[in-house]
């Protein structure tokens, strides 16, 4: 498994995304030069060259699922209005909206995860590992892997794409950026699920009846 230092070094040399760099190193058994070539071949390095471009065009689309029980609004940006009207771009945005409906991410990227939530998750994992009797010197290393899995569950860019689980959303965006020749980013999204956060009255009624019956 590639180390955080190796991933950072490769990212510095290519400008490719962190997940792309990790995958490249894993695929190339840690060989830095081969990993650079791998990124170039997949288009990730090419896409990274556009990382500092301004993507202010694009589109907002909606997706309604499960008979109106789940709804998504997502904004995906590109550099020009010409690309925003492209059928491939529209299909990509539609696929991302559908993915959000199915996978229920909480954030676009790990940079949006609050410090409070990160600290809470780390503390829970740390206590779990201590209870399992893991040596103190191993806990921090294991924590890094557990937090990586956590980000993969709650961050859109790090989730496996539902139509191709071998790739993350970030990798899909990188490939499309290289293919189209414009920077493509997900700016924001909101996901609604019918009844989410509402305590149903019938549930309260059942609980009251059970309490009265001494159950």
Could you state, in order of their start, the residue ranges of all structural domains in the chain? Answer: 1-49, 53-113+155-193
Please, are residues 21 and 161 in contact by the beta-carbon 8 Å criterion? no
Residue 70 has pLDDT above 70, yes or no: yes
Q: Name the helix (H) or strand (E) containing 79.
A: none
Whether 79 contacts 85, CB under 8 Å: no
**CATH assignment of 1-49, given 3.30.420.40, 3.60.20.10, 3.40.718.10, 1.10.8.10?**
1.10.8.10
CA distance 1 to 29: 8
Q: Which residue has the tokens 């139509």?
A: 163
Confidence of residue 48 (pLDDT cuts 50, 70, 90): low
Q: How far is CA 123 from the centre of its chain?
A: 22
Half-sphere exposure of 67 (CA within 13 A, CB side): 0
Looking at domain 53-113+155-193, what is its CATH homologous superfamily?
Elongation factor Ts, dimerisation domain (3.30.479.20)
* pTM listed for this prediction: 0.68
């Amino acid at each position: 498994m590639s180390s955080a230092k190796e991933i950072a070094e490769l990212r510095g040399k290519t400008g490719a995304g962190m997940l792309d760099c990790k995958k490249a190193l894993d695929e190339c058994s840690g060989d830095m030069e081969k990993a650079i070539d791998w990124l170039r071949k997949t288009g990730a390095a090419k896409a990274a060259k556009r990382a500092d471009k301004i993507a202010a065009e694009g589109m907002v689309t909606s997706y309604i699922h499960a008979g109106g029980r789940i709804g998504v609004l997502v904004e995906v940006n590109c550099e020009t209005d010409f690309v925003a009207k492209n059928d491939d771009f529209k299909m990509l945005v539609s696929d991302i909206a559908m993915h959000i409906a199915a996978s229920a991410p909480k954030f676009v990227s790990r940079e949006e995860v609050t410090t409070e939530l990160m600290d809470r998750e780390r503390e829970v994992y740390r206590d779990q590992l201590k209870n399992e009797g893991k040596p103190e010197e191993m806990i921090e290393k294991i924590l890094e892997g557990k937090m990586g899995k956590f980000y993969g569950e709650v961050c859109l860019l790090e989730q496996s794409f539902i139509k191709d689980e071998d790739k993350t959303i970030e990798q899909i965006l990188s490939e499309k950026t290289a293919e189209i020749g414009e920077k493509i980013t997900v700016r924001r999204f909101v996901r609604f699920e019918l009844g989410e956060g509402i305590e149903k009255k019938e549930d309260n009624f059942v609980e009251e009846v059970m309490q009265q019956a001494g159950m």
